[in-house]
Structure 1
Amino acid sequence: MTHLKLAKLTLYVALCAILSSCSHYPLSNQPATNIIEMPFAVGNKFLPRPIITPPEQILSLSSEHKKALRDYFNQKENRSMLPNKRLAQYLEDYVENYFYFNQTLTANQSLAKSQGNCLSLAILTTAFANHLGIDIGYQLVDSTPVYQEENGIVLSSEHVRSLLYAPKQELQNGISFFSRSAIAIDYFPERNLRVKRQVNKNEFLAMFYRNRAAESLIQKNNILAYWQLRKALELKPNDQHAINMFALVHEYHGLKVHAEALFKYGIERTDDKLNILKNYEIFLQREERFKDAAKITRQLSSYKTKNPFDWIKRGNNSLAQGRHYEAKRYFKRALKLAPYVHQAYFGIAKSETYMGNHKAARRALKKAKENAFELKNKELYQNKLIALKRES
């Protein structure tokens, strides 16, 4: 199998915020399940009902973009290459002018803006492959999750790589080879990644709606997130990530009975319970049901956390209680897991400031500024640096 490292993409790995994937399996015309069995609130609690991007629009291409792709594909100098290699080359040329943008876009939107996040690029690859009739497959691979926080919501990524398959080879009597070469279009071009499983087309589309729902949650648009998650769960039932967000949407919308029922539903029916348990613990603490929350805390103690924001939370709690050196240790634990998380550097800066170590605090603030992606955070850290310099 050939691995193609796409130019520009590896620079933005830490910024691919939400879950993404694709697949070559056919899309069913029927919903994957009757989600009426799930304990969510009826739609009249989330009105007015917004317009949701239909599945067929996600992967559609404009006539202009189809023509540009065909023109490249049929150029004389490219005809000697296998179709999957030609498309891989086209993608490599295209992404040289493609910029990271933390929003999930359809194929046409991504082309129009020359930007998008990791899932947007996977969608674009799929749209190109579908138009050219190239078989495409996707694998969920085992890699270190990337974490970030926006508006109090911690986002984590999964890594999916796409496979562009060479044409089928037929023998006599119509017998085909089942084993074919493929080019891996990989956002993490590491060798020897362990493949966890295949991802089918319905799950791919569900991830688009799940990404959009996460973006809506960050913007505090509970109504839009509700309908996007309804669509995601129609396509992939018992998706732990979607159920987790669905419970949060209900909680934020004031439907606490439904929220708790969804937390319990997800805990009972999904294999990966960690995030659902964490959010259920927080839910119970907000409701001041501390005995119930303590039971969930005991369950969580058996999990080994890989989320740096768990340590950042502990660090902030220690800061609030005046335990500054302990807080610094927690922030350093976060950086061991994710050295790109600017909030951990900021926590160290606050710890050092409280302990009177202004020089160390300035170093930490500079690192926080270097690792911050959004302008508002960079400006915050710059202002803190100026203020600290005045105090020194």
Structure 2
Amino acid sequence: MIQLDFSFADDNDMDSIILGQSADAFPEIETMALNQEIIDYLEANVRSTASDREVVDRLRELLFEEDYLNIQYDDLKTRTAIETFQDRQGNCLSVVSLYIAMARHLGVDARFQTVKVRPRWDRRGELLVISQHINAVGRFGQSTYYVVDFTPEISVQQLTASTVTDTHARALYFNNLGVERLIAGEYEKSLQFFKNALWIDPALSIAWNNIGTAYNRNGDKTLAEYAYRKAYATDKTNATAINNLAKYYHNQGDLETSERYARAIERFNNSNPYYHYNMGNMAYAEADFEMAREHFTRAIRRKEAEPDFYYALSKTYEQLGDELQSQRMYQMARLMVLASDEIYLPSQDKVRIVNEKSILRETSAGFSINTGEAR
């Protein structure tokens, strides 16, 4: 939680503008529908007598192996299940929607599961996009369940997960469409998608933050401020909303409030090792290896037992020409992995059968937009 003296009250007039629609604005978009082509594909490739476990394994083959659909990761566009099947690519929300729709058609239990994982920052133009994650979970019985994830490996430490409804997943879908239109500079269209996401799920904090950015870019400062504030009031861990408020107040000339919010974010970020890890990755991508080294070192100071930090620092030292330090960091990372095989488990099959809770690693389920300078 971000420590901040913050008072907020719902405003009925503001809410009526943002949440005023009376029905889903896009009923024609069926995110999880299957067409006849997909149904025929399943009937031709999955035995009708297959057990639930056999169906799950067969769907993995059909979705991900080269001889079949061979679906590839693409986080630039959020697709429906049908579009994902047709395009043979998608982000985690898109692929999981297709998987769940297929599994349910074949009579296998499958639900959406949101996963709290290390955040991942990605610059897109002037915006900073922070990705979250979703995967699929289902049960074979009372004591055994499976997880399907569109990622190369899993981390079972410091992660939490919760199953969510199809309705929540639909809200995430429209939130993502809004972000895509926002990045493209289509502010009115992005507002339509964000409003629909919030009509579906008024408690979706990332959508409140994102619609605030859309209003801000569209020149409606009052609604922007209200949406940013409601994003934080809905989720006290929403750092992007506070960062956006700091930037907003700075641009409005309220430097005292801006500085107060900026200090809260600085305290939060400086204590977060994954913030420094991601800032290091961004600096590395921009060939600023000294800045990358500084951020990776800060990440390690805040959390020593994280192999990825040492691997990243090893690569950075290699770019800086310090081969001795590069090898030292690499060996430290390897020793950590070897010392605890519970930290990283390979999951090339993208399916894991578990008898106790085991959560998979991040890609991008829901996007959140940070308009401020990274601190």
In structure 2, relative to structure 1, the CA distance for the partners of 1:159 and 1:204 (3 Å cut) is same
Q: Do the aligned residues in 2 keep the contact of 1:225 with 1:249 (CA within 8 Å)?
A: yes
Tell me which stretches of 4 or more aligned residues in structure 1 moved more than 6 Å. none
SS at match of 2:136: strand
Q: CA deviation at 1:301?
A: 3.4
Amino acid at match of 1:72: N
Q: Do the aligned residues in 1 keep the contact of 2:112 with 2:166 (CA within 8 Å)?
A: no
Partner of 2:133: 159
SS at match of 1:282: helix
Q: CA deviation at 1:201?
A: 1.9
Is residue 148 of structure 2 the alignment partner of residue 199 of structure 1? no
Is residue 241 of structure 2 the alignment partner of residue 266 of structure 1? no
Partner of 1:63: 36
In structure 2, relative to structure 1, the CA distance for the partners of 1:121 and 1:228 (3 Å cut) is same
Listed one character per residue, the Cα deviations across residues 142-163 of structure 1 (whole Å, up to 9, x for unaligned) are 4322221111221222233312
Larger gyration radius, structure 1 or structure 2: 1
Amino acid at match of 1:39: M
Q: CA deviation at 1:229?
A: 1.0
Aligned alpha-carbon RMSD (Å): 3.6
Partner of 1:331: 292
Q: CA deviation at 1:119?
A: 1.4
Is residue 130 of structure 2 the alignment partner of residue 150 of structure 1? no
- Which of the residues 14, 29, 36 maps onto 1:39? 14
- Which of the residues 249, 254, 273 maps onto 1:289? 254
- Which of the residues 77, 80, 94 maps onto 2:63? 94
SS at match of 2:148: strand
Listed one character per residue, the Cα deviations across residues 72-113 of structure 1 (whole Å, up to 9, x for unaligned) are 2236xxx3x413431332233332222222311111111111
Partner of 1:141: 115
The percentage of aligned residue pairs carrying the same residue is: 17
Q: TM-score, normalised by structure 1?
A: 0.62
SS at match of 2:154: coil
Partner of 1:125: 99
Listed one character per residue, the Cα deviations across residues 330-376 of structure 1 (whole Å, up to 9, x for unaligned) are 4334456688xx9xx99xx9xx9xxxxxx99xxxxxxxxxxxxxxxx
Tell me the distance in 1 between the aligned counterparts of 2:63 and 2:150: 15
Q: Do the aligned residues in 2 keep the contact of 1:141 with 1:196 (CA within 8 Å)?
A: yes
Q: CA deviation at 1:53?
A: 4.5
Amino acid at match of 2:202: P
Q: Do the aligned residues in 2 keep the contact of 1:38 with 1:265 (CA within 8 Å)?
A: no
Partner of 1:223: 188
Amino acid at match of 2:83: Q
Tell me the distance in 1 between the aligned counterparts of 2:96 and 2:173: 10
Tell me the distance in 2 between the aligned counterparts of 1:267 and 1:53: 27
Where does structure 2 lack aligned partners over 5 or more consecutive residues?
A: 1-9, 19-23, 300-307, 323-375
In structure 2, relative to structure 1, the CA distance for the partners of 1:300 and 1:165 (3 Å cut) is same
Matches within 5 A, 1:211-250: 211-250=176-215
Amino acid at match of 1:111: F
In structure 2, relative to structure 1, the CA distance for the partners of 1:268 and 1:275 (3 Å cut) is same
Partner of 1:182: 145
Partner of 1:307: 275
Is residue 47 of structure 2 the alignment partner of residue 54 of structure 1? no
Q: Do the aligned residues in 2 keep the contact of 1:139 with 1:195 (CA within 8 Å)?
A: no
Is residue 41 of structure 2 the alignment partner of residue 73 of structure 1? no
In structure 2, relative to structure 1, the CA distance for the partners of 1:230 and 1:195 (3 Å cut) is same
- Structure richer in helix, relative to its length: 1
Partner of 1:116: 90
In structure 2, relative to structure 1, the CA distance for the partners of 1:36 and 1:282 (3 Å cut) is closer
SS at match of 2:202: coil
- Which of the residues 250, 256, 262 maps onto 2:221? 256
Amino acid at match of 1:260: E
Tell me the distance in 1 between the aligned counterparts of 2:28 and 2:243: 32
Tell me the distance in 2 between the aligned counterparts of 1:280 and 1:134: 45
Q: CA deviation at 1:126?
A: 1.6
Q: Give aligned pairs, total.
A: 282
Q: Do the aligned residues in 2 keep the contact of 1:40 with 1:262 (CA within 8 Å)?
A: no
Amino acid at match of 2:88: S
Tell me the distance in 2 between the aligned counterparts of 1:86 and 1:107: 18
Q: Do the aligned residues in 2 keep the contact of 1:84 with 1:164 (CA within 8 Å)?
A: no
Listed one character per residue, the Cα deviations across residues 241-298 of structure 1 (whole Å, up to 9, x for unaligned) are 1111011010000001111122222233322231100011111222232122111122
Amino acid at match of 2:248: F
Partner of 2:330: none
Q: TM-score, normalised by structure 2?
A: 0.65
In structure 2, relative to structure 1, the CA distance for the partners of 1:262 and 1:185 (3 Å cut) is same
SS at match of 1:154: strand
In structure 2, relative to structure 1, the CA distance for the partners of 1:126 and 1:267 (3 Å cut) is same
Tell me the distance in 2 between the aligned counterparts of 1:111 and 1:331: 38
In structure 2, relative to structure 1, the CA distance for the partners of 1:330 and 1:159 (3 Å cut) is same
